[in-house]
Structure 1
Amino acid sequence: MNSSSTSSSEGSKGRGGMGFLFVFFPEDETAAAATSPGGGGAPIMRKRAVNALLRRSNSTHLLSTAQSTISICALLIFVTLLLFTLSTFEPTAASSHFHPRRQLSASSSSSTALPQKSRKSFWPKHNSGEDLWKNLAFQHALQGMGTLYRRGTRAMNDLVVAHAVESLTVHELKLFLRLLFRSGLSSKSDLLLVFPAKSAAFDRAVVEESESFLKLVHGAGEDRNSTTSFDSAQFKISRKKERESGEPIWGRKRRSNSSEEELEGDSESTRLSYGSVVSFDVDELDPENSLAGFLHHVPMSLRRWACYPMLLGRLRRNFKHLILVDAKELLLLGDPLSRLRSRTPESVHLSTLTPPAHGRKTHQKPVSPAIVMGGSRGVRRLSNAVLTEIVRAAMQHKKKNSVNESGLLNQLVGNEFVLKNINLIVSAESIPELSSLTGLNSRTGSSSSTSNLALVRRGSSNGDGSSSILKYLCSFSLDSAVYSDC
């Protein structure tokens, strides 16, 4: 009795202990069942293996996705940094173009003699391929617009705005630039060209004349024995005045290094002074062609007035005096602003033309729209008034092509009420023609005939007068070595 009860109590204790193990250690029993001889644990093993494999594959997929995401982000950051670096890097083809003094120094330092024909030109000839000029990269002149051909040595107070009409030829443009660069006006002012459209031929002409001028101004200072008609003294300025002027507004600002300072005469008390050369297209300044709604055909002589409000408005704080000039009709030989710098900013000076002999006799000579100069405020107000007058005249006339620039400007000059906020000055002296100049074929006579003239008209004998000027310039050794057409 006692033994049976004892055995039953021990059996009950054993069964209770096994239940305890079943509750807290189910995997042990499952493992035991899997190893039982009945074979019922095989499906469970396969299920556990599949679950482990799925968990392992999910973790591997997540890891590979994270690695791919990190790689893509790193690639985007690298590409962004690369594009930013390339956007701030100036091409080599353009850098040689914007710093021509460095090339000139390398060529001139090899020999102190006059530059020979073999190293006369820094730029390709006409037969070297047009594609090079078409694909040549230029800096933007201002706020992502325009073209910068040459950055001047300092900020200027005066600006020459020369517009090119549709009939302007490359030869006429080169003569205009050559005489302007040689005059004292280019040492005190920047040049801004307004073109009807983009032209690789015009770009090449501007670059060639700019390079010729730089070689001329450096050659005149280095070679004292050569004969030249060029006065390099007017392009000298003190270092103190140059620092007070500041940097030009055109293009990117650059830091001058020791080689450039040595090249420009930083060790001396004087430095070279010449202005920047830039250009804009009419589509950049007047993208909507605002006069097209009033006229069937808008010539460059009228559309330029629609470009001035935007252009002069952006530059109103940078220049004190302005010149608006037609590059085809007039040639600038000197500094016509010398008499106007002491006048008020509202002053505007207009030049007159000699009326033709067969025309009607008038008491007053007609003013020329080919040149307008004066204070920046007065020129800007006059340009706005001319634009308004063009629109008014186009609306009054039934024929939309009957607006004449010369007649419109002369009518506007006679209206004192419209120009009441402008100090208008009409010169009594007419602009002489190029054919009236004498002594261009001799070295002694030309100095007396052109030194007192600031500007001349090309006139009807354009070819004869231009050839005379070119022959006169080519008669000097330094000039003939610099210019390729001598």
Structure 2
Amino acid sequence: MGLLLVFFPQNHNAPNTNSTFKRTNSNNLILSKTQSTISICALLFFLTLLLFTLSTFEPTNTLHHNNNQPTKLAQSKTQNHNKALQRMGTLYRRGTRAMTDLVICHVADETTVHEFRYFLRLIHRSGLTARTDVVFLFASGSLSSSFAPVIREENEAFSSLVELHSELNSTRWSQLPESTFDVTRFFVRVGKKGEEIAEPLWGKKTRINTSDEVMLSYGSVLSFDAAELDPENSLAGFLDRVPLSLRRWACYPMLLGRVRHNFKHVMLVDVKNAAVVNDPLGRVRNRKSESVFLFVKHGKKNNDATRTSQRPVNPAVVMGGARGVRRLANAVVVEIVRAAMQQRKRKNSVSESAILSQLTGGNEFMLKAKGVELMEPSESIPDASQLSGRNSSASLSDYAIIQRGTTSNHDLISSVIKKQICSSVVDSSVYRDC
């Protein structure tokens, strides 16, 4: 801002009569004009400061849920480039309220767009997102950029699906039998009218209140890159190559530590090798915060007294209390370093399944010392090939989690999933690939 200066020329032709009186009047006039000039400059300065403040201020939005229009999701749609948490991550969709559960899905480099799309579509339809936030952990920034359009497309498809099914329910249409989507799972009752709802953890602050007894409930969708949560790549000094299957365990302590007061239960899922079809967290919600549940790999059961925990652990799905999962992640990082030091001379690779199996078997005392209450793994994740049998009448709704199986079987399973979803007249109008 420039400084406004006003100069008043001296009048040398003024008569000398009454010079003292005129000099006094001239001084008063100059003083008055100077004060006016300073006031104008000060006003301009404060106006400029006010405009600058308003231009950089992040407004606080108020989401008001109306029972007459419960499915309007446009109010809570998030800008594509919003940061998720403390200038990290990307927020694709901000949920309608604070959630108690968190699902962290790691996406390895070899994951295809097709596999990722169907994983996200199924987890949207499962009903799990009605009470959980979903975080995707990518191996690199380039991978997250390539999958970002898929996340936005499936978020929009979910919004359209909810709106369409809600309209059919409001007109008292019975749910079409071929549809496996239950929209009623995404509505919850609130305590009192006008009660303020706890806002989501992610993104900008938003005051949420409702004047109705029922509100739409869905969680946030966001992502982090491994470099954001593990900037030093802590395992690189012990391993020649650190795949995301191992590096993710070094990322969890950072993320779970920052949100440790916000979530009660956590599930870790491998996008490429597993798919969430219903809500599997029901089996751990009544357990202690230190509890952890693991699955074992498919294999022939032993008939002798061999402990079931000696069977290889399946690392595709880990779930339990938030405290237990966080402590397990810390223990896994230590075990990875120990195994890498031992196998460096042998030049053997470090297996994620072997690490978890060692912790739950031979070194189980380490988990107890860390305060982890392990629910002994004894069952395996159902294989998705059961859906592709010619005489099989199994449906997606019959499972909580399914295992994709071998690489050659991925396309076959995806086609079966697509067929079951697109068989519904209502659902097929939402998805472009139906």
- Which bracket does the TM-score occupy, shorter chain normalised? 0.7 to 0.9
Instruction: Indicate the residue corresponding to 1:314 in structure 2.
Output: 258
Q: Does 2:176 correspond to 1:270?
A: no
Letter in 2 for 1:88: F
Q: Distance in 2 between matches of 1:276 and 1:248?
A: 8
Select between 382-391 and 362-371 the one with higher mean Cα deviation.
362-371
SS state at 1:154 partner: coil
Q: 1:381 aligns with which of 309, 327, 331?
A: 327
Instruction: Indicate the residue corresponding to 2:415 in structure 1.
Output: 467
Instruction: Indicate the residue corresponding to 2:11 in structure 1.
Output: none
Instruction: Indicate the residue corresponding to 1:215 in structure 2.
Output: 160
Q: 1:429 aligns with which of 362, 379, 396?
A: 379
Instruction: Indicate the residue corresponding to 1:402 in structure 2.
Output: 349
Work out whether residues 440 and 469 of structure 1, in 8 Å CA contact, stay in contact via their aligned partners in 2.
no
Work out whether residues 165 and 300 of structure 1, in 8 Å CA contact, stay in contact via their aligned partners in 2.
yes
Q: How does 1:270-309 map to 2 (within 5 A)?
A: 270-309=214-253
Letter in 2 for 1:431: I
Q: 2:396 aligns with which of 450, 465, 468?
A: 450
Provide the aligned length of Structure 1 versus Structure 2. 374
Scaled by the length of structure 2, the TM-score of the pair is: 0.77
List structure 1 segments (4+ residues) > 6 angstroms apart after TM superposition. Answer: 73-79, 439-442
Work out whether residues 180 and 397 of structure 2, in 8 Å CA contact, stay in contact via their aligned partners in 1.
no
Deviation at 1:212, TM superposition (A): 0.8
Instruction: Indicate the residue corresponding to 1:353 in structure 2.
Output: 297
Between structure 1 and structure 2, the one with the greater Rg is 1
More strand by share: 2
Q: 1:432 to 1:244 in 2, by over 3 A?
A: farther
Q: Distance in 2 between matches of 1:468 and 1:79?
A: 62
Q: Does 2:434 correspond to 1:483?
A: no
SS state at 1:319 partner: coil
Q: Distance in 2 between matches of 1:330 and 1:79?
A: 56
Q: How does 1:52-451 map to 2 (within 5 A)?
A: 81-89=50-58, 105=72, 137-198=80-141, 199-224=144-169, 225=173, 227=176, 228-240=179-191, 243=195, 246-256=198-208, 267=212, 269-355=213-299, 364-398=310-344, 402-414=349-361, 415-420=363-368, 421-437=371-387, 445-446=393-394, 449-451=395-397
Deviation at 1:330, TM superposition (A): 0.5
| Structure 2 residue ranges without an equivalent (≥5) | 1-32, 60-68
Give me the CA root mean square deviation.
Answer: 3.5
Q: What is the CA deviation profile of residues 425-454 of structure 1, one whole-angstrom value per residue up to 9, with x for unaligned ones? A: 133221111111258999xx45xx433421
Work out whether residues 387 and 416 of structure 2, in 8 Å CA contact, stay in contact via their aligned partners in 1.
no
Q: How does 1:13-52 map to 2 (within 5 A)?
A: none
Q: Distance in 2 between matches of 1:424 and 1:323?
A: 14
Q: Distance in 2 between matches of 1:83 and 1:143?
A: 23
Work out whether residues 347 and 425 of structure 1, in 8 Å CA contact, stay in contact via their aligned partners in 2.
yes
Deviation at 1:211, TM superposition (A): 1.1
Percent identity over the alignment is 50
Q: Distance in 1 between matches of 2:101 and 2:73?
A: 32
Scaled by the length of structure 1, the TM-score of the pair is: 0.69
Instruction: Indicate the residue corresponding to 1:12 in structure 2.
Output: none
Q: 1:176 to 1:220 in 2, by over 3 A?
A: same
Deviation at 1:416, TM superposition (A): 2.2
Letter in 2 for 1:191: V
Q: What is the CA deviation profile of residues 29-76 of structure 1, one whole-angstrom value per residue up to 9, with x for unaligned ones? A: xxxxxxxxxxxxxxxxxxxxxxxxxxxxxxxxxx99xx99x97x9888
Work out whether residues 394 and 403 of structure 1, in 8 Å CA contact, stay in contact via their aligned partners in 2.
yes
Instruction: Indicate the residue corresponding to 2:62 in structure 1.
Output: none
Letter in 2 for 1:368: N
Deviation at 1:77, TM superposition (A): 6.3
Q: What is the CA deviation profile of residues 87-119 of structure 1, one whole-angstrom value per residue up to 9, with x for unaligned ones? A: 3357xxxxxxxxxxx9x8599xxxxxxxxxxxx
